[in-house]
Structure 1
Amino acid sequence: MTQLTDITTLEDIKLLVDTFYSKVQKDKFIGPMFNEKISNRWPEHLEKMYLFWQTILLEEHTYSGSPFPPHKQLPVAKEHFERWMEIFIETTDSLFVGPLAEEAKLRAMNMAEMFNYKIEYFRNAEKN
């Protein structure tokens, strides 16, 4: 059995992102939503995710942009974010161990909670 190591390179980020989104695409609950929204733009989406996580975890500033706006109008609820997190944690834990792997899970959880909060906020504001 291979000894797990921490996330240290862009290749590690690509492995995490590719493995995670491969599982997301096949997931019965959140997969259809991702596949419908992203459609045939998966390579472009994955490339953005590599840059995003490279910036967050490796402090190599390759990502620019605002991650929230593309998610603002998604028809998602808390349970979608919970499933996303389950897959993210499971994927990270199956591939890596160490401080940056833990940081990745923490950052993903914070992002999921913030996105869920903001989506609910905008949804409620539009009703009023």
Structure 2
Amino acid sequence: MKKNGKRDIETVEDIKLIVDSFYQKVSQDKLIGPFFEKTNWSKHLATMYNFWDNAIFYSGTYNGNPMKSHTRLHEKNPLSKKHFSQWNKLFTQTVDELFEGEKAELAKRRATSISVVMQTKIVGNNISPLSS
């Protein structure tokens, strides 16, 4: 354990804790929560467990296309820099509340990198991952 009692992300159960905790925040968030009102949570969470397991542990458990699904979402309900910023804020906050260490830092870096790519491709250039 680290000095503040937190440990690093080590297992798929840790991934599930992050994902479940994060989406609990998301579902209650006034800015990005509405995007998830019609979500099939059991399907979405299972997909996110696999996505983050692959992103952090290179497990090969995810083979979807997040850009395609977010582009479709944007076509129905336009995404903005504020949405991506809030997503990043909640994700980073969740990881920081639960874990610390090399894998925790990797998760936050991956989240930010993915978000920046999606913002650039979906919303446009001149994006800062932490700007509103």
Same fold (TM over 0.5): yes
Which aligned runs of 4 or more in structure 1 are off by greater than 3 angstroms? none
List alignment gaps of at least 5 residues for structure 1: 122-128
The whole-number CA distance in structure 1 between the counterparts of 2:103 and 2:6 is 13
The whole-number CA distance in structure 2 between the counterparts of 1:8 and 1:59 is 13
Structure-to-structure mapping, 1:52-91, within 5 angstroms? 52-73=51-72, 74=74, 75-91=78-94
The whole-number CA distance in structure 2 between the counterparts of 1:68 and 1:80 is 15
Q: Is the 8 A contact 2:51 2:62 kept in 1?
A: yes
Q: Which of 14, 20, 25 lines up with 2:16 in the alignment?
A: 14
The structure with the largest helix share of the pair is 1
Q: How many residue pairs were aligned?
A: 117
The whole-number CA distance in structure 2 between the counterparts of 1:66 and 1:31 is 22
Partner of 2:128: none
The whole-number CA distance in structure 1 between the counterparts of 2:35 and 2:114 is 18
Q: 1:6 Cα shift?
A: 0.5
Give the structure-2-normalised TM-score. 0.85
RMSD of aligned alpha carbons: 1.2
Give the structure-1-normalised TM-score. 0.87
Q: 1:120 Cα shift?
A: 2.4
The whole-number CA distance in structure 1 between the counterparts of 2:58 and 2:100 is 19
